[in-house]
Structure 1
């Protein structure tokens, strides 16, 4: 599940010739995800069948969607990297305007790319913005492809289940081949993930929780062969959040025993948990077990203050009550804060046995809504 990453889209769109933004920039995250006026876009109201590869592609009837990949990679000499790449589509209007110019795209696109170099204690992140017009950005289902300029994830027509991820900027580059070890899994109620109590404040949501990742990382003129595991999240929706919701803490954990866990804690503005916080625990063979809010205990063990003065949780104790297991989750690097139009923390973590401190797995954590001033200044979530 990705974050409120539409940060800066509307503000940027207003400066792009040929783009019409029917929604003025408002109050940061609230301007899109809290918006009551759906402007003709569909809402996620009921369970619907998900089908592949069709649902890997775009869903223009919904205002927002994202393709989100994170992962942990190993290089020579135990060199370790974490990475994130996200492609975000935001609909400016529902349906094409008759006679519209090829330059007047109906969707805005944003992409985020970040690399964590654990040994070098370096986190680097980039952002790109574009419109879909004349092929600058877009997505298609068959053969699968999503792109913004030369950042892309795509599948060759003769090998549709093998995805190739490429992104490069400055002295940082990533080129990976992603092969699924497990089939897609449906989050929430058969793919319908409710985020707040109001009907329609939900997304259609599936994950590919275990992708074998092999390729290369280039950093500061040096290229390393790497392999590891990646995680894909896909969501599409038109509205998600209630006015009393401040943000979410999202966990994707890949355990060495083959199990995978997703859990999101929806935070209320008063500091409490929303009862619609939920997740799932997936067995090594792929079967999933839904986790309701009351099935999980999440305790913050430490905090970290960013250079901008925002306080983020920095370590957690997570207990899955149905299995009786407790894990400690710790970042591999304190500063993995994305600082562009939006500020949020997104980083690689280790999963430890809470008693023995033995490493049990790896994962990624995403923390949104802790830097509200930065988000609101951006003009979009």
Structure 2
């Protein structure tokens, strides 16, 4: 929901952040002091486009940027493994935030209308280590930018570059402090439109929504480097793609987002929007993608979500859910979702949140049912 997260996500600026970035060349390690509600809500300058009505999606054009909207993101996550069974998770996310509804003429070569932020993580399951990194830069002097056909996004040397103009076949590259990924992704299934034909409402006010689609099954191969060793890996990735201008409302604190790739070929996305009092917002929603490509939209009442355990971060002190039971009775699904590592908190990023690789099991038999990613936002400072 990134609502990758969503979802999303991901994802995540306040108005003052882009203005501050415009006044200085680069900010590598900004303080983790902004909330996701600040970033995706509030009053914005008139003139930005709003997500108010369903639209026709056109691919591959819609894989590229939408500059008339204030915020958008490309959210890649995946569960990968070596031939010997060593497991890794990864996240590479690019966020674009516009300063004004239309570009402003500036004489400086540093002048730009867009700020980019990116998050890169590796979950090393066997090594029991979670590595996370953040970069922020303006879209000037070649430092960052995004284009459409084929898709080409970069922030310095982190990139997502398409090698086919007709589909989302993409190569991801990122490296920092000896940790690196170089992955090739190829669509292995249909695009999943979330919400009302891709219009994903996050609140009751008109325009508090995003255009949101996912590609839940991206066949993935390539390499991951950790601790001076490079591993050949393969597995599945998930793309969450959203753009809009405002999403969250004043009463909302954040979301719990689930992107699950089931072993039987189905995919389940669900986001639980949380009110500040801890209750579930009725506009929470999801999508079930069937094996034959048909999609079923899910309302909050269709799915039962229970938290079975909690985990407290030793770094931030924040308390996150750490075990879930998801029931979708109409589809015969009764699933247990468990993190591969408890500590998958992005703690030193501008917006602190938890996002990590999970395993999916059948509650009754305990057998594997799949894998996926979970994102938890708005828990920063939650101690109880």
Inter-CA distance 13–324: structure 2 relative to 1 (3 Å threshold)? same
Give distance in 2, aligned partners of 1:327 and 1:254.
12
Question: Aligned partners of 1:59 and 1:304: how far apart in 2?
Answer: 37
The equivalent of 1:350 in structure 2 is 359
Which residue pairs with 1:208 in the alignment? 215
Any conservation in 2 of the 1:8–1:342 contact (CA below 8 Å)?
no
Out of 130, 144, 156, which is 1:137 matched to? 144
Structure 2 equivalent of residue 151 of structure 1: 158
Q: Give TM-score, length-normalised by structure 2.
A: 0.92
Q: Which residue pairs with 2:251 in the alignment?
A: 244
Q: Which residue of 2 aligns with 1:23?
A: none
Q: Map 1:277-292; keep pairs closer than 5 Å.
A: 277-292=284-299
Q: 1:34 to 1:162 in 2, by over 3 A?
A: closer
- Partner of 1:377 in structure 2? none
User: Which residue in 2 is equivalent to 1:378?
Assistant: none
Are positions 1:316 and 2:327 aligned together? Answer: no
Cα-to-partner distance string for 1:8-41 (whole Å, 9 max, x where unaligned): 784475154378xxxxxx9643433221234311
Mapped partners of 2:309, 2:169: distance in 1: 39
Query: What does the per-residue CA deviation read over 1:275-325, in whole Å, with 9 as the maximum and x for residues that have no partner?
Result: 111101111222111111110000000000002111100000000132132
Change (3 A) 1:197 1:74: same
TM-score using structure 1 length: 0.92
After superposition, the CA RMSD in angstroms is 2.0
Alignment partner of 1:328 out of 331, 336, 340: 336
The residue that corresponds to 1:360 in the other structure is 369
**Which blocks of at least 5 consecutive residues in structure 1 are unaligned?**
20-25, 375-381
Checking the alignment, whether the CA contact within 8 Å between 2:151 and 2:165 is kept in structure 1 is no
Partner of 1:48: 55
Matching residue within 195, 200, 209 for 1:193: 200
> Map of 1:1-381 to 2, 5 A cutoff?
1=6, 2-3=8-9, 5-7=11-13, 10-11=16-17, 13-17=19-23, 28-156=35-163, 161-307=168-314, 308-340=316-348, 341-372=350-381
Given that 2:45 and 2:100 are in contact with CA atoms closer than 8 Å, whether structure 1 keeps it comes out as no
Deviation of the 1:133 alpha carbon = 1.0
Q: Is the CA contact (8 Å cut-off) linking 1:144 and 1:160 kept in structure 2?
A: no
Distance 1:224 1:111, change over 3 A: same
**Deviation beyond 6 Å, 4+ runs, structure 1:** none
1:38 and 1:155 map into 2 onto residues whose CA distance is: 33
Deviation, 1:99, is 4.3
Q: How many residues align?
A: 369
Q: Relative to 1, partners in 2 of residues 1:77 and 1:227: Cα closer, same or farther, differing over 3 Å?
A: same
SS of the equivalent of 2:23 reads coil
Provide structure 2 residue ranges, at least 5 long, that are not aligned to the other structure.
1-5, 26-32
SS at match of 1:135: coil
Mean CA deviation greater in 205-214 or 94-103: 94-103
Q: Using the TM superposition, name which of 135-144 and 212-221 deviates more.
A: 135-144
**Inter-CA distance 100–48: structure 2 relative to 1 (3 Å threshold):** farther
Aligned 8 A contact 1:345 1:366 in 2? yes
Secondary structure of the structure 1 residue equivalent to 2:84: helix
Q: Matches of 1:305 and 1:242 in 2, distance apart?
A: 27
The DSSP-based 3-state class of the residue aligned with 2:38 is: helix
